[in-house]
Amino acid sequence: MQQTALNCGLTRAPLALAGLLSLGFAAFEEPVELTYDPDLNHREKHRGTSAVARVTEDEDGALVGKCSSEIDTELAQRLLDEGVRWSPATDRSPIPKYVFNTYKGVPYRAHRRGNTRNYHGFPDVKNRIPRAVRDQLRALATKEGAQAEFDNWMQETEKYT
């Protein structure tokens, strides 16, 4: 049986593609290598000063996820490598648009910088995470022993759109 990788992070098992494609997953044959981009100019906006991630609003009212100060370049790359890869079903690129993961129960979204394989991540809020990804993130949080923290974050950030 051929093993197919999806950009939803599932790479080790044969998958029922039709059902996943209908949920908004785009499929590709080989997972591509992704790189965390520690662009300090861009990252400064998301750099937190506390070990606890949070969401704030900037002067224009836009949401800004502040990362845990514990996340260094090495950890960011690991979260990217082990994350849930996702793109809209209409996106046929083998490079995922987003990669989601959790750290201490907080969901993070890494987005692609331009048309590259370089990503930068930040804490995300419930309503900006595709529904098809949420259960996978909850499973990741549970695996790291942070299910309650994940559930709390999702409840607290539900007010944001």
Kindly state whether residue 110 falls inside one of the protein's structural domains.
yes
> What is the distance between the alpha carbons of residues 100 and 2, in angstroms, rounded to a whole number?
25
Count of domains observed in the chain: 1
DSSP-derived 3-state class of residue 139? helix
Kindly state whether residue 87 falls inside one of the protein's structural domains.
yes
pLDDT in tens, 32-69: 899 998 776 655 656 666 788 999 888 888 888 889 99
Kindly state whether residue 4 falls inside one of the protein's structural domains.
no
Rg (CA), the chain: 15
Return the structure tokens found at 100: 């989601």
**Domain containing 109: what range?**
33-156
> What is the distance between the alpha carbons of residues 107 and 86, in angstroms, rounded to a whole number?
14
pLDDT in tens, 97-147: 999 999 999 999 999 988 889 999 999 999 999 999 999 999 999 999 999
Please tell me the pTM assigned to this model.
Answer: 0.78
